Amino acid sequence: MTSKAGDRRETVSRPILIRGAKQLLTLRGAKGVRRGLALQELGIIADGAVLIRDGIIDQVGPTRRVENLAASRSALEFDATGRVVMPGFVDSHTHLISGPPWLDEYERRIEGGNPVAARRGLRASVQAIRSVSGARLELIAKDAIQTMLRHGTTTLEAKSGYGYDLTGEFKLLRALAALAGQPADIVPTFLASFAIPFEFGEDPERYVSRVISELLPKLQRRKLCRFVEVACENPGPVLNEARRLLEAARDKGFALKVQADQFRPTGGVGLAVELGARSAAHLEHIDDTGIAALGQSETIATLVPGSAFHLGLDRYAPARRLIEAGAAVALATGMNPDSSPTSSMQMVLSLACARMRMMPAEAITAATINAAYALGCGSSAGSLEVGKWADLIVLNVSDYREIPYQFGVNHAHFVIKRGRLVYREAAVSAPPG
């Protein structure tokens, strides 16, 4: 059968009952992206249960009511007694395939080198991706997805960007397309970063012209991405080229995303709002005008605190000011070997609370339902509601506030994706003898 939540066909012969959750975080309630005080509304059910049939959430409510339903009597039971159950994380900003670790750059930063100017790792990443087969890229991505699933991420965005030239970018996006059917849902994005062509001697105007005339039509025909994103790293003429590329992508039916104001104000936020981009990411150096614009727009502010943390920067995105201005806020890992080599959304919650002063409930909302809307899948993911895909995590905590409080810890006890168990925490083996 085809489920209510989407087009993927699933056959699950036996219902699943998750019962006894001390706190069941449903995130149910207001439709659409959450703002302001709504960011703190987790829809908690004490001693809660979830009934899953055919990969879809069939019932959500108190354990006593749900377990007494006729369908629950034949269900495979998962005991969540004393634990928190919540929607799977949605990581809305990742560079899933991005080359080897930048270890030399990492040591150089520790020794006091410029955290922004280090670019040797970029060449190594581009060359590594260009030198391996598409099949090898798929295997690399699958390994990364498994790590993300173990930490509770069940839906993620995956960008290109490290392919450098049009051939490399197409190769990356084909590898991402081949990952359809993986345990996690993957939303592909073509990322046009002007730093990469400039680094390799190609001027932005020529690069944009080639993308518009050669690459976008090919991506459209083969349906290799849902979003086109531009990294607006410099103001002035480069911003004009970013506008040209985004307008061309919009005309071809792609949804838009923008990276802006990571290291300096660029005007990229204003461009994102003007063109109706789904999200504007990073924003560490966003100014008052940009904050006000996001607060009055449908563009979601996607914050990536792992980047500032790893680069050793003092400045994080102003999450509190964005929330107070009425902006919709999402959180993401920004996973990449340069500035944020992490796949743990749990660690991102810790950074959001400790360094950006988000409340734990706000951070959870930003990492689930708001992030789902940032990827255009808020109707099927990001909350535990009847008719949505059964994507959820059972965590080894009794209060949701412990998730960010205990930083650097993987709390996932088990993870369910579309009604299927995809990760179970293993016991520690006793020593022999």
Residue whose C-alpha is closest to residue 403's, from 151, 184, 154, 183: 151
pLDDT at 3: 37
pLDDT at 6 over 80: no
CATH of the domain at 219: 3.20.20.140
Q: Is 429 among the domain residues?
A: no
Q: How many domains does the chain have?
A: 2
Confidence of residue 348 (pLDDT cuts 50, 70, 90): very high
Distance, in Å, from the CA atom of 177 to the CA atom of 369, rounded to the nearest integer, reads 24
Beta carbons within 8 Å of 189's beta carbon, 6+ residues apart: 157, 158, 159, 160, 225, 226, 227, 228, 229, 257
- Give the mean model confidence (pLDDT) for residues 258-282: 95
Residue 329 covered by a domain: yes
Q: Helix-strand-coil percent breakdown of the chain, rounded to 5? A: 35, 25, 40
CA pair distance 329, 324, nearest whole angstrom: 11
CATH number of residue 419's parent domain: 2.30.40.10
User: Model pTM?
Assistant: 0.93
Claim to verify: residue 40 and residue 152 sit in the same structural domain: no
The Cα 192–Cα 431 span in angstroms is 51
Measure the CA–CA gap between 431 and 433, rounded to whole angstroms. 7
Residue reference for tokens 């040209």: 244
More reliable by pLDDT, 152 or 429: 152
- Rounded to whole angstroms, the Cα distance separating 229 from 249 reads 9
Q: What is the pLDDT of residues 193-236, one digit of tens each?
A: 765 555 555 678 888 898 999 999 999 999 999 999 999 877 66
The reported pLDDT for the residue numbered 29 is 83
Both 251 and 163 in one domain: the answer is yes
Q: How far is CA 346 from the centre of its chain?
A: 12
**Structural contact between residues 408 and 350, judged by C-beta atoms closer than 8 angstroms:** yes
pLDDT at 163 over 90: no
Q: What is the pLDDT of residue 4?
A: 41
Domain containing 327 equals 89-374
> What confidence score (pLDDT) does residue 8 get?
42
Please give the pLDDT value at position 7.
40
